[in-house]
Amino acid sequence: MSEQSPGIQPSRAKSDFVIAVVLLLIFMGALVWSLTYPPAVAMLLPRIAIGLGVAATLWVSIGKGIRLFRANGATERAERRSLAEIVVATEIVGEEAEADQAADNDAEYIFANTSRRLWLISLGFIAGFFVVMWLFGLFIAAAVFSLAYLVFVGRKRWVYAIIYTALLTGALWALMRLVTYIPSPAGILFVGG
């Protein structure tokens, strides 16, 4: 982490800046929208929430923007000096550097360092599940997801994957149809699925 810190901190400031600006746009959009409602509609608290959000996102975006600006300037100057000074220069951005190292948790590390291929595979499975569920319903989607995931991602044997899938789908069906009577999402092509 310490080796990466100088590079990570400006990118953290950048990501904070981007998220704050996106939230600011959402708040501003909500503010404009709130003005279109007639006076009878209760808008006091939503507008207070918007005001709170606008103030906070401005606070974050301006603060991070200034730091990014300073960091760029400092890095440019430092580039003319030495590699060691680059580290010092960029670290002035990272007022949270040490705290971030302490708070550096597994989730942040995993999401930051997972390869694009793994991300695409995982998101692809999730997207595929929802498409199959939309077409054929929950139970078929659960079976397809489970079988495919265990075989292709989990590298389990077909027999293992089939038994696991049958048990999972069966338990899911029994839980929803026989025990709790909770409705399950039906597919557009196969209502019973």
Site for another protein in 80-139 (CB under 8 A): 94-100, 102-103, 105-108, 110-112, 114, 118-119, 122, 125-126, 129-130, 133, 138
Q: How far is the CB of 164 from another protein (least distance, A)?
A: 7
C-beta closer to another protein: residue 69 or 152 = 152
Contact 139, 184 (CB under 8 A): yes
C-beta closer to another protein: residue 76 or 98 = 98
Residue 38 in contact with another protein, rule: CB under 8 A: yes
C-beta closer to another protein: residue 85 or 96 = 96
Q: How far is the CB of 80 from another protein (least distance, A)?
A: 24
Which string of b and e fits 121-151 if b means at least 16 CB within 10 Å? eeeeeeeebeebbeebbbbbbbbbbbbbbbb
Site for another protein in 5-24 (CB under 8 A): 12, 15-16, 19-20, 23
User: How far is 10 from 13, CA to CA, in rounded Å?
Assistant: 5
Contact 92, 71 (CB under 8 A): yes
The 137-176 site mask, x for binding another protein (CB under 8 A), equals: -x---x--xx--xx--xxxx-------xx--x---x---x
Number of chain positions touching another protein (CB under 8 A): 78
Q: Which residues contact 19 (CB under 8 A, 6 or more apart)?
A: 60
C-beta closer to another protein: residue 37 or 69 = 37
Interface region with another protein, contact rule CB under 8 A, candidates 32-40, 72-80, 82-90: 32-40
Contact 190, 136 (CB under 8 A): yes
Q: How far is the CB of 182 from another protein (least distance, A)?
A: 5
Q: Where are the alpha helices (DSSP H) in the chain?
A: 5-34, 44-79, 83-91, 97-103, 106-113, 116-136, 138-148, 158-174
Which candidate, 27, 17, 67, places its Cα nearest to that of 51?
27
The 39-78 site mask, x for binding another protein (CB under 8 A), equals: -xxxxxxx-xxxxxxxxxx-xx--x---------------
Structure tokens given for 169: 């789908």
